[in-house]
Structure 1
């Protein structure tokens, strides 16, 4: 379904993504892990065509999308929706209007200028918000919501595009553990119930193991691991992150239970 073939991105002398190759032959949920600067965000931005590749190809259902321009490129960005770490909402605009922005690629300029939406689209937006558990906030300004709620609004906006693929760039990096779990559970349900492929950049191994069918590890722009969650051992993680024996998964955990146990252990250590 989706093939990434030797995809490369250079910024001057720096190679951000180095000949990345992945084959995704059926809808699944994939977690991409690696330290900051490993090339994860650049890879997703190339997939969404926010960045042009320096080399290699992206193919979807046999069609090359690497060189799409204009209307074809915008159509691909609707099929391959992007969710960002910082939500990218319009803070002073109400929630339902933010969700309706997911239809901008298929609306004419006049309708966009006067903020006019078909009633069917408004009903669809509210239904999506209801599915994500935040329909009661539809009339509120986006800035009045918590971070986790805003991220669910961003997910709803992506779903308004009716995409085949959802790309999530560090969707829980700025969230507390409770909201992080809520957002990841929402993305997992979207994959399972809708049959959409979800590709998410993640910092934490426990999140990748719990929610993803497949885990990809990147280091220095290259894909150095591609396997099942249970194959992501501590030893493999050390290789991906370039870490030694001091590497601790607990330090990066987003699981509430793990954090509580870690806090309890710290509390039990007497102060010097």
Structure 2
């Protein structure tokens, strides 16, 4: 389905992504891990065509994504929805209107100007909110919701695009552990029930192990690991992050149960986070 060949992005002399190669044969939930500055966000932005590659190629279902321009590029961005860490909602608009913004790529300018939506789209937006457990907030302003609820609104907006791929750029980095798990469970459910590909940059390794079928590790712009969650050992994590033997996995775990452990408790085999 998705083939990334020698994809490179340079900013002057600095190479953010260095000859990345990824092949995805069928819809999967993929986690990308690595310390800050490893190139994770740049990779997703190139996939969505928010940023152009310096060299290399992205192909999806036989189409050269890197060559798309104009209307074809906009269609691709609708098929490849993006979810951001900061939600990117319109705070003063109601929740359902924010979700309906997922249809903007296929609406005419006049309808957009007057905020006019077909009844079928409105009903579909509410159905998606209901699926994500937040339909009762449809009439509220987005700014009145918690961070976890706002992120689910952002997921609902992405689903309104009916995308083939959902890209999530650190979707839980600013959330508490409980909301982080709700958001990740929602993304996993979307992958399993809809058969959509989900690619997420993740801030913690325990999250990658728990929710993803495949994990890709990046270091200094290069892919240094590509394997299953079971292969993501503490030793591998040290290599990805360039960490020494003092590397500890427990400090930023998103597992809620770790919050209830007594002070001084040390798990025999903890789950790894991304180093900030």
* TM-score, with length taken from structure 2: 0.95
Cα deviation for residue 203 of structure 1 reads 1.4
Cα deviation for residue 260 of structure 1 reads 2.9
Hey, what does 1:252 align to over in structure 2?
A: 252
SS of the residue 1:47 aligns to: helix
Cα deviation for residue 16 of structure 1 reads 0.1
Hey, what does 1:243 align to over in structure 2?
A: 243
Partner Cα separation in structure 2 for residue 37 and residue 112 of structure 1: 37
Hey, what does 2:165 align to over in structure 1?
A: 165
Matching of residues 1-272 of structure 1 within 5 Å: 1-261=1-261, 263=263, 265=265
Partner Cα separation in structure 1 for residue 236 and residue 247 of structure 2: 11
Superposition CA RMSD, Å: 1.0
SS of the residue 2:66 aligns to: coil
8 A Cα contact 1:101 1:157, kept in partner? yes
1:115-135 deviation line (CA, Å, top 9, x unaligned)? 000000000000000000000
Partner Cα separation in structure 2 for residue 256 and residue 248 of structure 1: 17
Cα deviation for residue 140 of structure 1 reads 0.1
**Shift in alpha-carbon separation, 1:263–1:80, aligned structure 2, 3 A:** farther
Hey, what does 2:269 align to over in structure 1?
A: none
**Shift in alpha-carbon separation, 1:128–1:242, aligned structure 2, 3 A:** same
SS of the residue 2:30 aligns to: strand
Partner Cα separation in structure 2 for residue 197 and residue 133 of structure 1: 22
**Shift in alpha-carbon separation, 1:137–1:263, aligned structure 2, 3 A:** farther
SS of the residue 1:46 aligns to: helix
SS of the residue 1:215 aligns to: strand
Cα deviation for residue 259 of structure 1 reads 3.5
Cα deviation for residue 263 of structure 1 reads 4.6
Where does the alignment leave 5 or more consecutive residues of structure 2 unmatched? 267-276
Cα deviation for residue 264 of structure 1 reads 5.6
* TM-score, with length taken from structure 1: 0.96
